[in-house]
Amino acid sequence: MQSPINESTMRIFSRLLGVCGVAALLVASVLAQAPTADDIVAKYLTARGGADKLRAVNTVKMTGKLTGQPGEIAIVSWAKRPNMIRRESTLKEQKIIIASDGQTVWALNPMAGPTPREITGPQAEAAKQDASEFDPVLLDAKEKGLKVELVGTEPVGGVSTYHLRVTKTSGPSQDIFLNAETLLETKISMPIEQAGRKGTAAIEFSNFKTVDGIMVPFKIRQTIDGQTMAEVTYESIQFNAPVDDALFRMPK
């Protein structure tokens, strides 16, 4: 015949049930507090200055210097909604221009000739794609048909970051790393392939400053497989300055 459960055993069972109950509540609390990809994107947009402020930007002018293999190059770039860009770089008093009015991509390089020429092929398509991405990729991501996933948290350059993966309907995915404290971009990376060789291209952001209520990185470093290819330091960034469309058209 089984012996009945005594009072001491019942007390042990009661304590175990209490411990299990507290543990379950703690787990539920942690799960409830764990941020989702949508939560992080919303906080990121707030940190940048707000979605409405970002959508209200129609033109951007950036002036600075690029340091790379050719040396130090003075650069000026303009962008205008929806898909117009112009980039000027000056090296040894030679000004090189590459621009697009949304239809035609063209370049002017004095070392190749005195007249502008139209650019076609992969280089033109890349320039058009770049020009079409006027807004930060995480702004209105769902409306743009992008899938944003939270991969997890991981350190980047000694800084704890949220790792988001953005998948497009076509083209390579992007990995975006946001500073877990400031929620601003630390790095964006993506897979690339050059001459049959696969690698990873990355852009690292630092020295954020406020311009018209929007947080903007004034220093950008470009790398391939961890090796620095170029570094850009901006001296000034202007939003919504008047820019004539003619600036982006190919001269006749």
pLDDT digits (tens, 9 = 90+) for 93-139: 889 999 999 999 999 998 888 899 999 998 888 888 888 889 999 99
Report the distance separating Cα 232 and Cα 15, nearest Å.
62
Q: What angle do CA 77, 173, 234 make, to 5 degrees?
A: 25
Answer whether 181's CB lies under 8 Å from 160's CB: yes
241 alpha-carbon distance from chain centroid: 23
3-class SS of residue 118: strand
User: Residue 21: its pLDDT value, please?
Assistant: 53
Residue 36 and residue 110: Cα distance in Å, rounded? 51
Specify the long-range contacts of residues 106-113, CB closer than 8 Å, at least 24 apart. 106/250, 108/251
If we measure between CA atoms, which residue out of 65, 66, 62, 90 comes closest to residue 77?
A: 62
Query: Global pTM?
Result: 0.83
Q: How far is C-alpha 239 from the geometric centre of its chain's CA atoms?
A: 18
Of 151-165, 190-204, 218-232, the poorest mean pLDDT is in 190-204
Per-residue pLDDT tens over the stretch 179-222? 999 999 999 999 988 778 899 999 999 999 999 999 999 999 99
What is the three-class DSSP state of 133?
A: coil
Q: What percent of the chain has pLDDT over 70?
A: 87
Q: Where in the chain is the domain with CATH 2.50.20.10?
A: 37-248
Which uninterrupted H or E stretch holds 170?
none
Q: Has residue 74 got a pLDDT over 70?
A: yes
163-168: long-range pairs with CB below 8 Å, 24+? 164/37, 164/40, 164/41, 164/138, 166/137, 166/138, 166/141
CATH of 37-248, one of 2.50.20.10, 3.40.50.450, 1.10.10.10, 3.40.50.10490: 2.50.20.10
